[in-house]
Amino acid sequence: MSSDPIVPAPDATADGADRLDAGRPFDAAIVGAGPSGSAMAILLARAGARVALIDAGRFPRDKLCGEYLSPEGVGAVDRLVPDGRLARSGGRPIRSVRLTTPRGRVLEAEVAGPDGRAGLGLSRSALDALLLDEARSLGVEVFEGIRVSGPIVAGGRVVGVSGRRESGRPVTAHASVILAADGRHSALTRRSGATRPRSLPGLRPRLFGLKRHLIIADDAADEPPGTVGLHLLPGGYVGACRVEGGRTNLCGLLPERLSRQYRGDLDALAEATFPGNRTLAALWDAAQPTGPWKTVAGVRVETSSPLLPGIFYCGDARGTVDPLGGQGLTMAMLGAEVIAPFVLRTLAQRDLDLATLRAAQRAWHARFDRRVALCRAFHHALVQPSLIDLASLLGRGGNALLSLGFTMTRDPARMLS
């Protein structure tokens, strides 16, 4: 649990701070313009709310991400961004997954939805642009290059946020409701709530994430069209899927000890460890990187809860899921759909106590706890390559088990109808 005190941010009372709300508080100020924050902005703006969307970065931007949208995620984007714009984005349809092990075993499974809808390989820069453009078209005021340092607290509740522009100039934004969508380790989340792990300490090694876009000229070495690959290594995995622009996204989770062992030299790490899986090694040998590595340390499954009225959490700030199930992006957007009605109720009723906040948390857990638990179990099974080797001996039965694992991480059929 976070031990940081819940206090106003240092800039909350700074003299001369620019007010993004121009003296007229927004209905909602959302910090973080990734898939969850932009999805929330779209939903609130469609309901008539005056919304600010604040992000430390500038768009377009690349992010460390598996860049796989599950069929449910594709459906969520289609609801958020109309007129078939996702279908015209250049993303690559994905209908199957294959697992490979260091011993050369392979399992394959269908991952298309029950309605036949395919998943999609799409870069984060393209996905973020689709969502952000839709938010802007609905009148959402987007503020880029502003790093939020924490909440503004008055009368025991959150009434705004404060931060700084890239120039260092302080800024504030006041709103009836604040939404943290900038990650569970952000200053805003740390200063307004508590974060706890969802796995027992010591049950899993500390992991770090790495990502790079590649051009692979040898089509035989690339992932087969329509397939996302999960290439297992001891204690972790490296996944790959084709995205738009003729690129392949390489993204994985590996033990942090490897990063320390190679002193952060990820090229050296890749050259030394990727040969442990022959399929991954062939892909890497045929690849031409198109940009630098992106990394993130301390990857673990956690959940965060706000402790003050006036602020809701969504996306990664609300809770994380093991990425092996391909549910991260999907949960970000579906989570916005779960939380948005409670935000709108708060705005309509001026219900600023903790009751609505707690009801929103219960609704999120009711929707996603099963998925989080199954993805966590899936992770523990898949980072043990020997288990997959055994399953592969079952032939079609092993493939059926893999398919069942992915199916169980989705919403029940009643929630898809």
Answer yes or no: is 353 within a domain: yes
Answer yes or no: is 413 within a domain: no
In the block, which residue shows the tokens 């099963």? 370
- DSSP state letters, 295-362: EEEEE--EEEEE-STTEEE-GGGTB---GGGS-HHHHHHHHHHHHHHHHHHHHHHT--SHHHHHHHHH
Indicate whether 362 and 347 sit together in one domain: yes
C-alpha span between 378 and 402 (Å, rounded): 9
C-alpha span between 272 and 107 (Å, rounded): 25
End-to-end CA distance of the chain: 37
Indicate whether 360 and 323 sit together in one domain: yes
**Dihedral angle of Cα 240, 372, 340, 316, to the nearest 10 degrees:** -60
Residues 406, 325 contacting (CB under 8 angstroms): yes
Among 150-164, 177-191, 231-245, 353-367, the minimum mean pLDDT is found in: 353-367
User: What is the average pLDDT across 183-189?
Assistant: 90
Answer yes or no: is 409 within a domain: no
The string of pLDDT tens digits covering residues 60-72 is 999 999 999 999 9
Indicate whether 213 and 277 sit together in one domain: yes
Answer yes or no: is 256 within a domain: yes
Indicate whether 287 and 239 sit together in one domain: yes
Model pLDDT, residue 115: 82
Q: Domain range holding 48?
A: 18-63+126-199+300-376
Among 54-58, 180-184, 371-375, the minimum mean pLDDT is found in: 371-375
- Beta bridge pairs of residue 207: 255, 299
Please identify, among 298, 322, 349, the residue that sits at the C-terminal boundary of a domain.
Answer: 298
Indicate whether 38 and 145 sit together in one domain: yes
- Beta bridge pairs of residue 291: none
Indicate whether 259 and 191 sit together in one domain: no
- Residue 211 neighbours by CB under 8 Å, 6+ apart: 64, 65, 249, 250, 251, 252, 293, 294, 295
Please identify, among 273, 298, 323, the residue that sits at the C-terminal boundary of a domain.
Answer: 298
Answer yes or no: is 316 within a domain: yes
CATH number, position 323: 3.50.50.60
Does the global pTM surpass 0.75? yes
Indicate whether 51 and 143 sit together in one domain: yes
Indicate whether 258 and 361 sit together in one domain: no
C-alpha span between 411 and 393 (Å, rounded): 29
C-alpha span between 12 and 7 (Å, rounded): 10
Indicate whether 58 and 132 sit together in one domain: yes
Structure-token pair, residue 184? 């569970």
Indicate whether 171 and 291 sit together in one domain: no
Answer yes or no: is 354 within a domain: yes
Residue 166: C-alpha distances to residues 32, 145, 163, 171, 178 (Å): 16, 6, 10, 11, 22
Indicate whether 285 and 307 sit together in one domain: no
**Dihedral angle of Cα 208, 36, 354, 374, to the nearest 10 degrees:** -50
Which has more pLDDT, 345 or 184? 345
C-alpha span between 408 and 198 (Å, rounded): 19
Model pLDDT, residue 7: 43
Among 27-31, 134-138, 294-298, the minimum mean pLDDT is found in: 294-298
Number of domains in the chain: 2
Q: Which of 129, 112, 137, 139 is nearest to 77 (CA)?
A: 129
Indicate whether 288 and 212 sit together in one domain: yes
Answer yes or no: is 13 within a domain: no
Please identify, among 245, 275, 298, the residue that sits at the C-terminal boundary of a domain.
Answer: 298
Answer yes or no: is 188 within a domain: yes
C-alpha span between 59 and 48 (Å, rounded): 25
CATH number, position 235: 3.30.9.100
